[in-house]
Amino acid sequence: MAQIPKIALVGRPNVGKSTLFNRIVGRRKAITDSRAGSTRDRNYAQASWQGAAFELIDTGGLLLGSADPLLGSATAQAERAIEESDLVLFMVDARAGLLPDDRGIATQLRRRGKKVVVVVNKAKESVRGVEEFSAFGFDHLLPISAEHGQGIGDLLDIAMEQVARVELPEEEGAPLRIALVGRPNVGKSSLLNQLLGAERAVVSPIPGTTRDSVDSLLVKDGHRYLFVDTAGIRRVRALKENVDHVSVVQARRSIERADVAVLVLDAAEGMREMDAAIGGYIQDARCGVVLAMNKWDQARGLKLSQKEAELRVRENLKFMPWAPLVFVSARTGAGLSALLKAAQRVQTARYARVTTGALNRELIRAMERLAPKAARGNRPLRLLYSTQISVAPPTFLLSMNHPDDLHFSYKRYLENRLRAAFGFEGTPLNLKVRVRPH
């Protein structure tokens, strides 16, 4: 199959790139904010127009000569996007007019010999001044309003004429969606970059570098993984900017739409209270989970053994003892194959089914060994029938003879018995009780 063409959105900060990205992709995938630098990573999404497929790349703003270390990294990301793209949509701001940085970007694009369409955004508010951007000398110039959706169809018509047409690929099985989550600066972006073999996410020692959730497709050994590198989740009191609040919301949404969440832990810093809080978010979302102890290459210097580290993890995450723990290093790449295999096992467990006969036999044995107590009266609680009613996560319906729900501690006992009998590694289980008088 022919390679899908890549189209990069570039321009100064705050000209509307992320707004246009969201408009074309059809959902609010990139963070939009009125301040410069809200987008720092390259943000990828596959889209189509009139039956032709393409990959759209949103980039951080290009600021020539900026001393800001984060904006400098964003500029490097944007330059990488330009290098790999088949077409550049060079966005400018009609309201602001032609600025020196616009001229500098245009000069860079001409030097690289890229195909360019100049996209004059916010033209609805300022019809005058659009023509001044013709001074760049590029063949195609088009006024649009990304916010109001005006001119987007014409823009896509022109864009698709400039790249090779690749028909929409036939539907493949959905990739395994994996959300990389954790506290700021535990190495999520470094893990993503090591997995992909390309620096797609900005890596910086400054906490909070990643603000967007960046989807990246990895195909390895015949398996397809869609990684979502999310912003580090911090406590509400630690959030200083509105855009950081949006990042946390997006990170939690990424967990909710993931098949498996990889909770990245920091071997150098050890366990923190926030690690357990994020584990709670994962449990609330009912997705699978893998625990990844990152920076394990530093373990020898820290005089830390795997057994000791696992004891600390299990002590702090008592509510998910069934989650597999993998020791990895984003710096060296150690353990990443084991991480992917663990995610596959968890996904298999999420869709596992137990036959009704085997389920009833196991639950009856469990109740004979430890009978549930009725909350009211002396009438004993008795299981009449059980069946699995859904997967992802595995959900079981227990028909009882008494209008009392089972105590949560007893449900946990039954859950542990089911795990011992049938596995269910890395996935939550859901036990529902209904009354069927008998």
- The per-residue pLDDT for range 86-130, each reduced to its tens digit, is 999 999 998 888 999 899 889 989 988 889 999 999 876 555 567
Please provide the DSSP assignment of 324-351 as one string: -EEE--TTT-TTHHHHHHHHHHHHHHHT
Q: pLDDT exceeding 90 applies to what percent of the chain?
A: 41
Is residue 271's pLDDT more than 60? yes
Residue 363 placed within a domain: yes
| Residues 229 and 372 reside in one and the same domain | no
Range in 7-21, 164-178, 329-343 with the lowest mean pLDDT: 164-178
Task: Give the pLDDT of residue 160.
Answer: 92
Q: What is the mean pLDDT of residues 184-194?
A: 87
Task: Give the pLDDT of residue 30.
Answer: 41
Quick one: pLDDT band at residue 175, thresholds 50, 70, 90? confident
Task: Give the pLDDT of residue 32.
Answer: 38
Is residue 411's pLDDT more than 70? yes
Residue 166 placed within a domain: no
The SS3 assignment for 110 reads helix
Q: Which residue has the higher pLDDT, 250 or 226?
A: 226
The terminus-to-terminus CA distance of the chain in angstroms comes to: 61
Distances (CA, A) of 285 to 121, 195, 231, 261, 346: 38, 25, 17, 10, 15
Q: How many domains, in total, are found in the chain?
A: 3
Is residue 71's pLDDT more than 60? no
Range in 36-50, 101-115, 254-268 with the lowest mean pLDDT: 36-50
Is residue 202's pLDDT more than 50? no
The b-or-e profile of 357-378 (16+ CB within 10 A means b, else e) is eebbebbeebbeeeebebeeee
Residue pLDDT, tens place only, 337-389: 999 999 999 999 999 999 999 999 999 999 999 988 765 656 678 888 999 99
Is residue 68's pLDDT more than 60? no
| Residues 373 and 390 reside in one and the same domain | yes
Q: Which residue has the higher pLDDT, 43 or 407?
A: 407
Residue 42 placed within a domain: yes
Handedness of CA 21, 22, 24, 25 (dihedral sign): positive
Task: Give the pLDDT of residue 64.
Answer: 55
| Residues 257 and 196 reside in one and the same domain | yes
Is residue 242's pLDDT more than 50? no
- Give the contacts of 384 (CB within 8 A, at least 6 positions apart): 399, 400, 401, 436, 438
| Residues 336 and 366 reside in one and the same domain | no
| Residues 57 and 202 reside in one and the same domain | no
Quick one: pLDDT band at residue 185, thresholds 50, 70, 90? confident
> Domain holding 372: CATH number?
3.30.300.20
Q: Which residue has the higher pLDDT, 237 or 160?
A: 160
Residue 170 placed within a domain: no
Residue that is last in its domain, among 349, 378, 412 = 349
Residue 168 placed within a domain: no
Residue that is last in its domain, among 314, 329, 349 = 349
Task: Give the pLDDT of residue 70.
Answer: 34
> Domain holding 298: CATH number?
3.40.50.300
Please provide the DSSP assignment of 19-66 as one string: HHHHHHHTS--S---SSTTS--S-EEEEEEETTEEEEEEE-----TT-
Average pLDDT over the chain, rounded to an integer:
81
Is residue 29's pLDDT more than 50? no
| Residues 111 and 20 reside in one and the same domain | yes
Question: How far is it, in rounded angstroms, from Cα 12 to Cα 94?
Answer: 13
Is residue 61's pLDDT more than 60? yes
Q: Which residue has the higher pLDDT, 77 or 100?
A: 100
Is residue 60's pLDDT more than 50? yes
Task: Give the pLDDT of residue 49.
Answer: 85
Q: Which residue has the higher pLDDT, 39 or 122?
A: 122
Q: pLDDT exceeding 70 applies to what percent of the chain?
A: 77
Instruction: Tell which residue, 258, 292, 271, has the closest CA to residue 190.
Output: 292
Task: Give the pLDDT of residue 151.
Answer: 87
Is residue 200's pLDDT more than 90? no
| Residues 334 and 191 reside in one and the same domain | yes
Task: Give the pLDDT of residue 243.
Answer: 35
Entry pTM = 0.64
The b-or-e profile of 409-433 (16+ CB within 10 A means b, else e) is ebbebbbebbbebbebbbbbbebeb
| Residues 21 and 125 reside in one and the same domain | yes
| Residues 257 and 387 reside in one and the same domain | no
The SS3 assignment for 366 reads helix
| Residues 117 and 184 reside in one and the same domain | no
| Residues 138 and 15 reside in one and the same domain | yes
Domain span at residue 397 reads: 356-435
Quick one: pLDDT band at residue 204, thresholds 50, 70, 90? very low
Range in 90-104, 163-177, 239-253, 274-288 with the lowest mean pLDDT: 239-253
Is residue 427's pLDDT more than 90? yes
Residue pLDDT, tens place only, 285-320: 999 999 999 999 998 888 889 999 999 999 999 999
Quick one: pLDDT band at residue 221, thresholds 50, 70, 90? confident
Residue 388 placed within a domain: yes
Assigned token pair, 311: 């004891």
Instruction: Tell which residue, 37, 427, 389, has the closest CA to residue 210.
Output: 37
| Residues 194 and 305 reside in one and the same domain | yes
Residue 169 placed within a domain: no
Task: Give the pLDDT of residue 129.
Answer: 64
Task: Give the pLDDT of residue 22.
Answer: 84
Q: Which residue has the tokens 């469990």?
A: 366
Residue that is last in its domain, among 129, 161, 193 = 161
Residue 281 placed within a domain: yes
Q: What is the mean pLDDT of residues 39-62?
A: 76
